[in-house]
Amino acid sequence: MERHLFFHSQGQRVLGVLHTPESVPIRPGGLVFLHGWAGYRIGPHQMFTKMARRACEMGFHCLRFDFRGRGDSEGDAQRTTLSTMIQDARAAAEMLCAEAGLEHVALIGDCSGSEVAIGTGVGDERIDSLVLWSAPIVGGERAEADAAKRRGIYQSYVSKLFRRETWAKLVGGRLQTGMIMKALRRGGKGAGEQGADEDKDIDWRGRFVGFPGEVFFIYGGNDPTTGPALEHYEGLNRDAGRALNSHVVEGANHAFYSLAWEDEVMQTSLQWLGERYVARESG
């Protein structure tokens, strides 16, 4: 069963979709989905919607929602920061636990949503698992990963120069040159994604190392940021006394834009979560 609902974060209404399992044994952990900077509650190419439905069939209560300033939630898009997104994620975890009577929560973050998951995990003992898709580097030097992402953006646009459809769009006046120039200038980052002043006070390394639960990373094998990110998180996990749990989808890009790639991401995530939260009989 799926239903839309509102809950409050810092006095503003946040829209969510609650997935409630029926006629299956209930899992002791709920799943809260955290979309990326420019996304909303459906996730990249509806991956959050698809995965939440699969998870619900496995007995997981799931909550997808729009951060404030995004989708159908209240708030000013220009005032959204990682700090406000962390506030919203905490409110979402609280709401899901109260609504479903749960004591454990896993956060599933995509890209910037992974940063939010890391920032949210410490401080609420009910949050004991993080599943991070294409997580950017936090608590360390991002220059190498950002440079790799920028090179990937440049190479992508250079390759498009040799495609017939690109020139057809140019001649027909359908080529969005403004958006292309913005993407090249920002190196693939969205407006405001470079970081707000209030986000600079977050001890990212401390929050990751101090998280007492387990973390599972998924990256695309053809994402230029994968190598630097995995190397970085291997070191942070070592400092935290955890093994690095990770999976690389061979050939996949940053957003897993293929039915086979997205299916592998969802299946691998759900297998890991299923092992973490064993179903209990209802009643």
Residues 216-245 pLDDT 10s: 999 999 999 999 999 999 999 999 999 999
Strand (E) positions, the chain?
2-9, 12-19, 29-34, 62-65, 104-110, 127-133, 214-220, 245-249
Q: What is the pLDDT of residue 184?
A: 46
- Residue boundaries of the structural domains of the chain: 2-141+203-276
Q: What is the pLDDT of residue 149?
A: 47
Rounded to 5 degrees, φ, ψ at 109 are -115, 140
Q: What is the pLDDT of residue 161?
A: 57
d(CA 263, CA 249): 10
d(CA 100, CA 116): 23
By the 8 A CB rule, do 124 and 104 touch?
Answer: no
d(CA 136, CA 146): 9
What residue ranges of the chain have pLDDT lower than 50?
142, 145, 149, 151-157, 179-180, 182-184, 186-189, 191, 283
Query: What pTM was computed for the model?
Result: 0.83
Instruction: List, for residues 2-16, the tens digit of each pLDDT value.
Output: 999 999 999 999 999
Q: What is the pLDDT of residue 179?
A: 45
User: Largest Cα–Cα distance of the chain, in whole Å?
Assistant: 65
Q: What is the pLDDT of residue 175?
A: 53
| Percentage of the chain exceeding pLDDT 90 | 75
Q: What is the pLDDT of residue 251?
A: 96
Domain 2-141+203-276: what homologous superfamily?
A: Alpha/Beta hydrolase fold, catalytic domain (3.40.50.1820)
For the beta sheet containing 104-110, the strands, ordered from the edge strand earlier in sequence to the opposite edge, are: 2-9, 12-19, 62-65, 29-34, 104-110, 127-133, 214-220, 245-249
Q: What is the pLDDT of residue 279?
A: 86
